[in-house]
């Protein structure tokens, strides 16, 4: 069973919301987000995850190819930022009580992607 079948688009939306509630309060990676676009950032993240895991194509239709590294190049992302992002996402996964095997698949995806996004040496 894949992630979208197991937790659905609503589950992914809840995970994105739990993640962004924490990001708003974070003093390391949270400050990378424009303070006037929290809702937009959450929507883009939610739509990306839904697309990535087999749901709606809204993200691609509106934004095209994700180009994650290119979109994140303006931000200093080192190991500390990567680790904090993962801490916040892990807390969101805990809060949403994402079940197995979706939990493990999401953790693996987020860990690989967060590491790939690093663009600044430690």
CATH number of the CATH domain containing 9:
1.10.490.10
What pLDDT shows up at residue 65? 87
Residue 121 within any structural domain of the chain:
no
User: Structure pTM?
Assistant: 0.93
Q: What is the mean pLDDT of residues 51-71?
A: 91
C-beta separation of 72 from 64 below 8 A: no
Residue 87 belongs to a domain:
yes
Share of the chain above pLDDT 70, in %: 99
Q: How large is the average pLDDT for residues 23-30? A: 95
Region 93-100: mean pLDDT is: 97
Q: Is residue 89 part of a domain?
A: yes
Tally of domains within the chain:
1
For helices 79-96 and 3-23, angle between their N-to-C axes, nearest 10 degrees: 120
Model confidence at 1: pLDDT above 70: no
**Domain encompassing residue 66:** 3-116
The larger pLDDT score, comparing residue 116 to residue 73, is at: 116
Q: Which residue has the higher pLDDT, 70 or 82?
A: 82
- Report which of 54, 39, 35, 42 is spatially closest to residue 88, judged by C-alpha positions: 42
Assess if residue 122 is contained within a domain. Answer: no
Per DSSP, the three-state class of 54 is: coil
């Amino acid at each position: 069973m894949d992630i979208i079948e197991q937790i659905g688009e609503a589950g992914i939306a809840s995970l994105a919301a739990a993640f962004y509630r924490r990001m708003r309060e974070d003093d390391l990676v949270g400050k990378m987000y424009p303070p006037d676009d929290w809702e937009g950032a959450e929507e883009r993240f939610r739509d990306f995850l839904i697309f990535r895991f087999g749901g709606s194509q809204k993200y691609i239709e509106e934004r095209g190819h994700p180009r994650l590294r290119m979109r994140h190049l303006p931000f200093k992302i080192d190991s500390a930022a990567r680790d904090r992002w993962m801490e916040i996402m892990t807390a969101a996964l805990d809060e949403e009580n994402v079940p197995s095997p979706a939990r493990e698949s999401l953790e693996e995806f987020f860990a690989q992607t967060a590491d790939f996004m690093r663009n600044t040496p430690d």
